[in-house]
Amino acid sequence: MVRSMMDQALRYQMLADMVLALHLGVVLFVIAGLVLVVLGNLRGWPWVNHLWFRLAHLGAIGVVVAESWIGITCPLTTLEMSLRARAGASTYSGGFVEFWLQRLLYYDAPAWLFTLGYTLFGLLVAASWWYFPPNRRGR
């Protein structure tokens, strides 16, 4: 019985770590996506203007900006914290992966600063659509 509970807690902890890694991947996609659009256009890389890539990038930052303006917590954060609670773990301590990824993703600042930062970044992404329009033909 005790071993079964420990196994279940470990599974929840591992799932929480996987959600945290996915969250970091989304953050990296949003940041690196804009860098790739600008750099790729300056270097003549046609793939950075594929409509699917640009729509995915715009959608990702659009969700972040909307969550910020509405004042809701990211569903990935909510899911991760729920899984950690089910594991019986603290939401801000734990293993190596958890420790370092949380240090990268979660830092303390006033909420308005995050809203401003997300909004400005979203405006940069929107400006990249005007300055470097996506290729609607898919090439």
Query: Is 121 domain-assigned?
Result: yes
Query: How many domains is the chain built from?
Result: 1
137 assigned to some structural domain: no
At 71-130, the pLDDT tens digits run 888 899 889 989 999 998 766 555 545 566 667 777 777 888 888 999 999 999 999 999
Task: Give me the torsion for CA of 31, 60, 118, 121, rounded to 10°.
Answer: 50
Query: Which two three-digit tokens encode residue 2?
Result: 């005790």
What DSSP letter does each residue of 44-96 carry, written as one string?
T-GGGGBHHHHHHHHHHHHHHHHHHHHT---HHHHHHHHHHHHTT--TT--SH
Who wins on pLDDT, 1 or 37?
A: 37
Range of the domain at 95: 2-131
Mean pLDDT, range 32-56, rounded to an integer: 97
Q: Is residue 113 part of a domain?
A: yes
